[in-house]
Amino acid sequence: MDVLRQLFERHFGQPATGVAPVQGGLGGSGRQIVRLTSARHTAIGILNNVREENLAFLSFTRHFLAHGLAVPQIYAEAATGTAYLEEDLGDTTLFQFLAAHRRGSVLAPQALEAYARVVEELPRFQVDAGRDLDYSVCYPRAAFDAQSIHWDLNYFKYYFLKLAGAEFHEQALEEDFTRLTARLLSAGQKCFLYRDFQSRNIMLCDNRTPHDGRPYFLDYQGGRRGAPHYDIASLLFDAKADLPPAVRDALLEQYLDALARHMSFDRGQFLADYPCWVLVRILQALGAYGYRGFYERKTHFLQSVPYALGNLRWLWQNAGVATELPALAAACAQLTTDAKIAEFSAAASAAGEAGQPAAQAVSGNAELAQAEVAQADDPLTVIVTSFSFHRGPVADESGHGGGYTFDARGLPNPGREARFKSLTGRDAEVSTYLEQHATVAGFLQHALALVEISVAEYRRRGFARLMVSFGCTGGQHRSVYLAEQTALHLRQRGVRVELHHREQERWPR
């Protein structure tokens, strides 16, 4: 935090007397977010080692400010590119304001007015500011193109659909993904796509700030060129906001009226394409909830799952896209029954209360069925190791020769990029890079499935040792990441694990 304190004192001419986390202190991407205060001043500080993401946010912010848009002022930046100080816009998000101004499915006029102002502002970002934006600074992609869509759909497949135990035909599902991608790309990429336009990223400035309650906008660092449909779908189908269908419909019409004042478009075609954009946004969100909740054990992400599944069910029942995507619809139908949604709700509640992975409470899942807590008399220890093939395979000290050696050299290699040279697979920047590639998620999923077969059988037979090794070129990035994820996965399932990074332990960096 020292760098943020230095930025604060340099900008305001007085030291910060208080530093406190904001909204838990961690963003979804691993950013640290804090509020710094002194007797007269306050500011929000961001620490984020992903420099490219920071550059995108700062560049976009300057551009939006030049267009008169309601975004925070930037006070100071660290020379390292890993920290910056921005205007404090208070504590009241649109989500919090909505929660305080509704009774069940009935929204108070103040809440409806707040949403109306937000949808009126959205086209100014997408169209007016989007026309002359520098898209070269976008991270990780300059456009919501086929590659971006592919990432999102596979994120959903590997981190939610499979973990939730849905049965599906792999090839038929991929064919549906191909059809859905083509349909989405037909809408073009003429606007700025905010990417995470949802109620927690919109501030309604409170009495702590000099603003008058107008909406201010945050967290657009993932923005890129794309179609306008995605952002309005993100807002109206924001999971825990749980907007009633009639409200969503009315706000969509207001948005289209506003958009028509900024650009020409075919309204009928927009409405015909819109359900597919709602679908891809819901699937992306479910993938994120699964990854952050099931793998990273951040149980608050899982609280959104029942709402997202409810939105998904409504979409299949009302939007007419199920016949176009039969394999995807069939897979999702298994997850959107009343019983399954209730099961996810109970799992999230149990995990939040007990501090355990919520996946353990979801039944009917063969992949998660081994999530029993290890008993004291369970002799099995899984030795998970990362290594470099250049220095030879991992020796089996037990002599029985059991286990797996996985070759990760076919995966995307962070080591080829200068920005990752000094990092390892344990660093957030490397993890983020690898998690954006569907091949990495698929590789890990299949490796874990094989390992779990042996874990179950070794436990049944009373074996004491199982070796699982991941090798790559240097034993620094891919193998370390895969070993870390495997160890986490097994420990969450009550398995005793020894984790070693052979090359890092031999030659610490």
pLDDT greater than 90 at residue 354: no
pLDDT greater than 70 at residue 352: no
pLDDT greater than 90 at residue 435: no
Q: What is the pLDDT of residue 495?
A: 87
Helix (H, G, I), strand (E, B) or coil at 509: coil
Q: What is the pLDDT of residue 370?
A: 37
pLDDT greater than 60 at residue 356: no
Q: Encode pLDDT of 85-121 as tens digits.
A: 999 999 899 999 999 999 988 999 999 999 999 999 9
pLDDT greater than 50 at residue 297: yes
Q: Give yes or no for a cis peptide into 21 (omega within 30° of 0).
A: no
Q: Which residues contact 425 (CB under 8 A, 6 or more apart)?
A: 386, 414, 431, 434, 476, 477, 478, 479, 480, 481, 482, 483, 484
Angle, CA 86 vertex, CA 72 and CA 65 arms, to 5°: 30
The closest of 151, 182, 307, 188 to 243, measured between CA atoms, is 307
Helices within 13-88 (DSSP H only): 51-66
Q: What is the pLDDT of residue 231?
A: 98
* DSSP character string of 278-301: HHHHHHHHHHHHHIIIIIT--GGG
The closest of 169, 159, 180, 178 to 440, measured between CA atoms, is 159
Q: Encode pLDDT of 269-280 as tens digits.
A: 999 999 999 999
CB-count burial class (<10 Å; 0-12, 13-18, 19+) for 472: buried
Residue 350, both tokens: 């149990």
Q: Which CATH number fits domain 94-336: 3.20.20.140, 3.90.1200.10, 3.90.1640.10, 1.10.287.110?
A: 3.90.1200.10
Q: Give residue limits of the domains in the chain.
A: 2-87, 94-336, 381-506
Q: What is the largest CA-CA distance in the chain?
A: 74
User: Considering only 186-190, 348-352, 490-494, 496-500, which range has the smallest mean pLDDT?
Assistant: 348-352
CA distance 159 to 127: 33
pLDDT greater than 80 at residue 349: no
Q: What is the dihedral of CA 16, 22, 28, 30, to 10 degrees?
A: 30
Report the predicted TM-score, pTM, of the whole model to 2 decimal places: 0.74
Q: Encode pLDDT of 9-43 as tens digits.
A: 999 999 999 999 886 444 455 688 999 999 999 99
Highest mean pLDDT among 55-64, 161-170, 374-383, 402-411: 55-64
Residue 393, both tokens: 């395979």
Highest mean pLDDT among 22-31, 121-130, 364-373: 121-130
Report the pLDDT averaged over residues 428-456. 87
Q: What is the pLDDT of residue 309?
A: 96
3-state SS, 128-145, equals: HHCCCCCHHHCCCCCECC
Q: What percent of the chain has pLDDT over 70?
A: 89
Report the pLDDT averaged over residues 35-62. 95
* DSSP character string of 458-498: HHHHT--EEEEEEEESSSSSHHHHHHHHHHHHHHHTT-EEE
Residue with more model confidence, 163 or 315:
315
Q: Encode pLDDT of 221-239 as tens digits.
A: 999 999 999 999 999 999 9
CATH number of 2-87: 3.30.200.20
Q: How confident is the model at residue 373 (pLDDT cuts 50, 70, 90)?
A: very low
For residue 75, CA distances in Å to 38, 44, 51 come to 15, 9, 17
Q: What is the pLDDT of residue 16?
A: 95
CA distance 492 to 360: 9
Q: Encode pLDDT of 173-218 as tens digits.
A: 999 999 999 999 999 999 999 999 999 999 997 766 667 668 999 9
Q: What is the pLDDT of residue 23?
A: 64
